[in-house]
Every structure is written in C-alpha cells, then in structure tokens.
Amino acid sequence: MGHIEALNSNSAVAYGAMLSRVQVVCAYPITPQVTIVEYLASFINDGLLKAEYVEAEGEYGMVAATMGAAATGARAFTATCSQGFAYAYESITAACARRVPIVMAIVNRPINGFWPDHTDSLSGRDWPWLQFYAEHAQEALDNVIMAYKVAEDWDVHLPTMVCNDGFYTSYVMEPVDIPEQDEVDEFLPPFKPRYIRADPSTPASPGIFASPRGLPPSIYNVTLGMMAWRLGAEEALVKAKEVIKKVNYEFGKKFGRSYGNGLVEEYMTEDAEVAFVTMGSMTGPARIAVDELRNKGKKVGLIKLKSFRPFPIEDFKRLGKGLKALVVCDRNVVNTGYGGVGASYLEIKHSLWYEKERPLLFNFILGLCGVEVSPTDYIDIIDMTSKALETGIVDKEVVWYPPVELKIYDPEPIPEEKRIKPCWPGTTLCQGCAEPLIFRHIFETLGRNVVVVPQIGCGAWSSNLPGSTAVTVPFEFSWLPQGPAVCSGISRGLKALGKEEGIHVILIAGDGSYGDMGFMTASGAMERNENVLVVCFDNEAYMNTGRQRSGATPYKASTMTTPVGTVIAGKQRPKKDLPKIHFAHGIPYVATATVAFLADFKMKLKKAASIRGYRYIHVLSPCPTGWGFPTERSIEVSRLSVQSGIFPLYEIDHGKFRFTYKPKERIPVKDYLQIQSRFRHLKDEDIKEIQSMTEEYWAELEELEKTEAT
C-alpha cells in the first residue's frame, strides 16, 4: 500500500514519473509547469531517481530530445505548457510521426494568455497524440503511470499528454496516495519498444516517406505511404480506447482506484435528464453544482471527459440516448468565424449527428484564460438553458460565459506629461533588483527616441501591471526566442518607411531567453548585421520562472533545476560565454558591463549608439532573490564580480579588444562567491577550481588584448 502526502498536481506528476522509472527527463522552465522538472531535478540529484536530465535550451529542442531518447528505447519524460507548447509544435508533430511513446505533462495555460484553460494542449488535437485530462493531483499522478502503460502498448505506440490545470491544480496542495515502487513495478513493466531505431545493432531510419511494400517506390506511391502513417496512427488511436479501458481496470484492481471506464467518468448520470460535460479541474465545482441541483430536485448529472484523444465517441452515443440535454462546458475555444465553439462540443456534436435519439446540445465556453468557474456558475448555466429545455428550441447554441458585450476602443496615445519619464517607478521587480537601474540608465543615455523590444522575462512583465504600463517608450513585447527577429523586422520596417534616422531599436533580453532559446534568431540577426542594439541582462538563470539553470548560470551554482543534492550539487558545466560567441559573429561592437560601474556602462551605451549594425552589451545584473544575498548588496556583488575577475569589463570595438577596467590586483573569487547562498555548498576545492578557471579565462582575454584588430 502507498502512503499519503500533501502534494500539488505538479509534484504528483513528478512522483508519477519517478515511480514510472523514467530514464531520460528533458526540461525547460515555463510557468506553471516548472515545478515538475524542479522536483525531478531534486529527485535525480538526491539519487532517488536514476535518470539523465537534459536541460534543454527551449521547448523545441526539449521535445526533440525526448523523442531522440525514446528512439533509443529509453523511457522518456518531458513537460511543458502554453507558449512552450506552441514553440515545441514541430517537435510535437514529429514525435507522433515517429511513433515514440513519450509522456509529456501539460500544465494547461493558454497560448498568449496566462491563467489556466485548455487551449494549449487542445491546439495539438489534430495530431495522433493521446491526451488525458486530470481533475485533481491524485489523478495527475495516476495518469502518468497509466499513460506509460497505454502509450507503450504495441497496438498504440503513440506519444501521450497528461494534462493538469495550471495554478488550480498545479499549485494547490491535496492529500495524494503515493503508490509504492514495487507495486508500480508490477503494474508497469520496463519499456520494450516495437522497434529500436537509434541503436547500431538495429539500424533503421525513421521516415514518413516509406513506400508501401510490393509497389514500386515512385513519388505517387510514397504519397500513399505518407497517407498511411497518418491512417496508421489513427488506427492506433482507435485501438487505444480498449487499451485505456483495460489499463484503467487493471490500475483499479492494483491500486484500489480507477477513473470511470478510463475514457469518461460519470457522476449521477443513471437517471439524469441533463448532464454537464467537463474536463480537468472545473469538474470539481460541477460535482458540487450537481449535488445542489439534485437537492432542488433537478435530475442533473455530470460526464467528466478524461480522455480527449482518443475521443470516446461511443460513450457519448450511449450516454446521449437517455438524456434530454447535454451541456458541454469547454474551457477552451476554437475561433471559427461563426461565433466560436468549444473543441469538445465539436466532437460531441459529431458523435451524435447520426443518432436517432439525440439530446439538445448546449455549449458554454467558460473559464477561458483562467476566468474562475464556481458551482454557482453551473447552476446559473442550468437556469440559462431552462427555457430552451421546455420549448425544445435552442436559440443560442454556443454561449461565452459569463455573457459579455464587447466594446473595443482605440486607445489614446500616452500623454506628454507622462512621457517625461521613460519608465516610472512602482514596477513589480523585486527589492534590490538591478534591472530597473539598467533600464533607467539606458533611457537616460539614449533618450526617448527609441523602440524597445523586451523579450519576456522579469523586466518585461514587471512593467506591465493589470490594465496599465510603467513604460512610456514603445515597448513591443516579444516572446522568448523572438526578440532579435522582431527587432530585425522593426529596424527594417523603419528603414522601409524612411524613418530609421535617429531611432534606436533596442532589444532588452535575459541571458536565458536571449542566450539560450533566442540564440537562433540572434545568430541570424548578427549574421545579417541588423541595425539593433542588444542589452542582455545577465542574471545567470531563468529568474522570471523562479531561478532555473540557464546556459549563463555559472559553474557549480545551485538553481532549482541544478539543486544541491546528496549525489549531484549545482550546475556541472561552466557558464556560456555569450560575449565571445557574439565576437565570433564579427559584429561591430561587443561589450560587457555591470551596474557597479555605471560610467563605464554609459560610455559603452553611447559608443554602441554611435555605431550602425548589431551591437551587443552584456550586463551582469545581480539578482538578490535568485542569487541569495541581502537586497542592499546588489551593487557590492556587482563590484566584487569585477574585482575578482569573474566578470571582466571589456569592449571589442570592430574587432579590437580592450579592457575598460582592470583591477590592479584581483581579489580572491571566494570574496565574491561566499556572500551568495547559491554558492553556499561549495567546498574549498570547488572554490580553488573556480579560482583557477578565472585565471585561465583572464590569461585568454589578455592574449586577445595583445592581438590587433582584424
């Protein structure tokens, strides 16, 4: 028997993955998925889980890495949501084409939105992935274990999403029964792939270009072969239904709990006249509403749609027979051009079209973008459908709930009196954060004739408060990897319109968003030498999602994805040297700067502003919250980083390297490291190693100093 612990659905999913003995975990942080991969990192670093941990540079690579791992025959796990899902889209479609049975946890959050709804995972509904939705943390844990068993069945062999609602379940603690490892081992045997491709002993190439056997390999026949992969995957999805039912039944027998028939879970539907259809966490309030409506004598039931893919069309045909009406509540929307519709409503309506007896159908789009759904909302919905139930005439099939009337206005430009400051105080950046200081000095130096593109991160979010902004210069938000590309477009657009003279296009981005995920677009923009000034805020981790390791995280530093465990402690790789990579692109200006040396920073800004082309200033931005030092010491930490030689100040102007500040005598790196809690675990030999790495780095830079400009 298992034991009960208080978990939220994110930790439950992590436990599910650990108990499933995943062998490769691929991670990239995004709110609200991030704690899943943080828990797994701590399990691995504490030696509780023996698995490879891939800290990907973005979701595109993350899902691809998961796919690659599964191609070797390893059991692979990943997790994402929202923008990450959208960014990973090509890899997501590739994973099902390759028929790899990976499991991907989705902590539902809309794309281009923040609080929970199901539009992210459902935007992948056209592809042969299995999709299970959990109501609560217990189901989230159980779903992961069941998902592997279903996905790895040779009749199915498809990737699977296990979806949980962001925030509502991802961060809410509930009592969860954690099964024992030996019980799970009995239930879930090791992964045995139908074909191992990525192994020299069974070489093969994955392909959607397979030509049907017996037919000559012509282009036409290959097109038939391609059609066959899609049809083959569809047939696997159809077969998956029986597998899911079987696995759900076996799970119930083994662990004493199961979820309906595995596809749908019914609540008080036996004698119901009207039934809600819900998915995910909003099922909870619906259960309460059903109880209350039953108390009032209304025969209402509830159908929880657990498996969206495969879609349980047969269950809806069966359930539709005895019902007067189905009230389909969709926490998602498909924009259609005829008023919008919910994704599961489309499927349910499709299920029932040829049925002789079919219920009235209502679709409520509710809880979209995190709008709260309470039991009273469901009771309200039943009231709203009562007239149609009496008359049998549905005058409005799809209702956006709560009913709203939109009035869209064109906003007035920011008034002149507000524009005296480019950025107003009162942002939500932490106390002692160096970012607003950098912001302020950029604007003070370059004036307001700028177009600023903040790549999403602390700096961008914090200036955008509910319904208002703190920034009065053009502040064109861009998602993580887009910044350099958006800037290229703005710079070219201004040029095309003849407006570029005197306008600085500035990209403000973090080390993770720009240096890891955004590096592809950055490299492209550099190679084209776009007229863009980039200020990279290096706070040495993904701070906006709660300090996860980035490429720029220093050696041995503890972060949430490189935690200090009993087996592994801190990041095992040195810091990615972004300025040097920029230098290698041959761009006109590269410089480093930090907040303690403001005159130096301003000099570099002015110099960069006077040059045309791609200019890069890498600013070390101490983060009291993430690095673990008292807020008043931000400037001191920044100063020590330079004095200890950890962060040298230099510029490379048209290929000529020059130190702009050289400490007379470098202080020991220990002085810099010891005041930050992220380095608290370092042993003397670690500090010695970092000291000698710093010496080597300086020797390298001094060598560069001697070389002439090319």
Partner 1 sequence: MSKKPLVLEVPFAGILTNVATIPTGGWRIWRPVINYDRCKRCWTCVDYCPEGVIAKADEGPKIDYNYCKGCGICEHECPFKAVEMVRELRR
**Binding region for partner 1 (CB under 8 A):** 380, 383-385, 387-388, 395-396, 399, 402-415, 418, 421, 423-429, 431-437, 440, 464-465, 467-470, 472, 595, 598, 624, 630-636
How near is the Cβ of 640 to partner 1 at its closest, in Å?
Answer: 13
**Nearest approach, Cβ of residue 359 and partner 1 (Å):** 18
For the four alpha carbons of 303, 306, 309 and 312, in that order, the dihedral sign comes to negative
User: Contact 549/26 with Cβ under 8 angstroms?
Assistant: no
Read out DSSP for 173-220? -EEEEEPPHHHHHHHSPPP--S---SSTTS-----S-PPPTTS---HH
Could you tell me the end-to-end alpha-carbon distance of the chain, in angstroms, rounded to an integer?
70
CA 548 from centroid of its chain's CA atoms: 13
Smallest separation, CB 541 to partner 1 (Å): 19
Q: DSSP letter at 247?
A: H
Closest by CA position to 116, among listed 63, 171, 79: 171
| Residue with tokens 């040297």, as numbered in its chain | 577
Torsion of CA 183, 184, 188, 192, to 10 degrees: -110
Q: Which is nearer to partner 1, 17 or 434 (CB)?
A: 434
- Among residues 412 and 501, whose Cβ is nearest to partner 1? 412
Q: What are phi and psi of 162, to 5 degrees?
A: -110, 115
Residue 479 to residues 112, 193, 475: CA-CA distances in angstroms?
Answer: 9, 37, 13
Closest approach, Cβ 360 to partner 1, in A, equals 13
Comparing CB distances to partner 1, the nearer of 423 and 541 is 423
- Indicate the residue among 210 and 635 with the shorter CB distance to partner 1: 635
Give the separation between CA 89 and CA 82, rounded to whole angstroms.
11
* Least distance to partner 1, CB of residue 308, Å: 27
Of 53, 61, 22, give the one whose Cα is nearest residue 37. Answer: 53
* Shortest distance (Å) from residue 453 CB to partner 1: 15
Judge whether 593 and 601 are in contact, CB under 8 Å.
yes
Nearer to partner 1, 418 or 683 (CB): 418
Nearer residue to partner 1 within complex by CB, 6 or 599: 599
d(CA 514, CA 507): 10
CB of 394 to partner 1, least distance (A): 9
What's the closest the beta carbon of residue 109 comes to partner 1, in angstroms? 17
Closest contact distance (angstroms) between CB of 471 and partner 1 is 8
The nearer residue to partner 1, 174 or 636, going by C-beta atoms, is: 636
Strand partners, 423: 471
Q: Which is nearer to partner 1, 200 or 413 (CB)?
A: 413
Cβ proximity to partner 1: between 47 and 426 the closer is 426
Is the sign of the CA dihedral 669, 675, 680, 683 positive or negative? Answer: positive
Task: Select from 537, 552, 495, 527 the least CA-distant residue to 614.
Answer: 527
CA–CA distances in Å: residue 72 to residues 68, 229, 433, 668:
7, 21, 44, 46
| Calpha distance 82→107 (Å, rounded) | 8
* Of 469 and 523, CB closest to partner 1: 469
Closer CB to partner 1, 114 or 555, in the complex: 114
Tokens of 518: 């955004």
**Beta strand residue intervals within 284-381, DSSP E:** 300-305, 307-309, 325-330, 360-365
Q: Please state whether the peptide bond connecting residue 474 to the residue before it is cis, i.e. omega within 30 degrees of 0.
A: no
Report the residue number, 243 or 293, with the smaller CB distance to partner 1: 293
Length of the chain: 710
What minimum distance in Å lies between the beta carbon of 171 and partner 1?
Answer: 23
Question: Which residue, 351, 601, 581, 614, is CA-closest to 485?
Answer: 614
The encoded tokens of residue 342 equal: 């919910």
